[in-house]
Amino acid sequence: MQTNKVIEIKPVPVDQEQLQLAFAAFNEASEQLSGVYQELQHQVAQLTGELAVANGELHRQLIAKENLSQQLSLLLNALPGGVIALSGQECIEQVNPAAISILGEPLLGLAWHQVIQERLSPTAIINEWLTKQQESAKQRRIRIESSATDSTGRRILLVNDITEAYALQDQIRRNQRLTSMGEMAANLAHQLRTPLSTALLYANHLGSDALTPVEREKFATKTIERMHHLEHLVNDMLRFVKGEITQLEDVRISHLLAELQQVIEPQMIQHGLQLIVHDLSETGSLMT
């Protein structure tokens, strides 16, 4: 026969003092956690505000930079001169429409030395170039200035079309030459009149029946020399009008005196005068 066992649970005596201490510690920990949580909430709110301000400032700066970029783009597009930005490897990174109009397309991505070799010809003046003749494009004279390279080797090229300015400068020089030619016309007429009169005088002597063959040959030679001198004066005037530069040359003083004698002596003979020249120059010369 089975019997039921009864288990008796006796309550454990509770230490009231320890329980109170435990509750007090719990309450204190809860208060500390609550304070820390509130402090964290305050810091989060403060950081959120600062982040919003920073984001607003960054957004404002971004808008300002975009506006500045647009203004710079408008400025570059409006510039009459070409602007070319080169990388550290001397490749074209950026160009404005004026540069494309002057040098043609394409430009972006090309090496600068390739553009020079294929599209430009050097002139006698440093930094000035002539564009090579292309279809439907007239030849231009341009001047290229370069900025200093930065720390990465980049630099900016400024390309100016000086075709019209150069043509205007040529026109001004031509007008100045014509003005100078007008001013020297009276002097030139005098210079032409003297050898011409001398040549006519020699030619009149050639018609005299009293001349010996030797004297006739002498007057004929002098007449031809005077005509050559006239031709030389006319050629000098034409070279001046064309803008050619006359090269300096050595002239023997004895030759110059002989030529002077040929010009003056016939006119003195007409007036019964005698011209005597003492040439002490030996082999001396002067630049003329």
Nearest to 233 by CA among 160, 184, 268: 184
Looking at residue 20, its pLDDT comes to: 78
Tokens of 200: 């006519």
Looking at residue 176, its pLDDT comes to: 83
Read off the pLDDT of each residue in 36-46 and give the average, rounded to a whole number: 85
C-beta of residue 98 within 8 angstroms of C-beta of residue 82: yes
**pLDDT of 222 strictly over 60:** yes
Read off the pLDDT of each residue in 2-21 and give the average, rounded to a whole number: 63
Looking at residue 60, its pLDDT comes to: 82
80-99 in b/e form (b: 16+ CB < 10 A) is eebbbbbbeeeebeebbebb
Read off the pLDDT of each residue in 130-143 and give the average, rounded to a whole number: 77
**pLDDT of 11 strictly over 60:** no
Looking at residue 106, its pLDDT comes to: 87
Whether pTM > 0.85 for this model: the answer is no
**pLDDT of 91 strictly over 90:** yes
Looking at residue 111, its pLDDT comes to: 92
Read off the pLDDT of each residue in 219-237 and give the average, rounded to a whole number: 76
SS3 label, residue 69: helix
Confidence of residue 241 (pLDDT cuts 50, 70, 90): low
Read off the pLDDT of each residue in 171-184 and give the average, rounded to a whole number: 79
Tell me the pLDDT tens digit for each residue of 247-257: 666 777 777 77
Confidence of residue 32 (pLDDT cuts 50, 70, 90): confident
**pLDDT of 66 strictly over 60:** yes
Confidence of residue 273 (pLDDT cuts 50, 70, 90): confident
Angle at 246 (CA atoms; ends 197, 177), nearest 5 degrees: 80
Looking at residue 104, its pLDDT comes to: 85
**pLDDT of 79 strictly over 90:** no
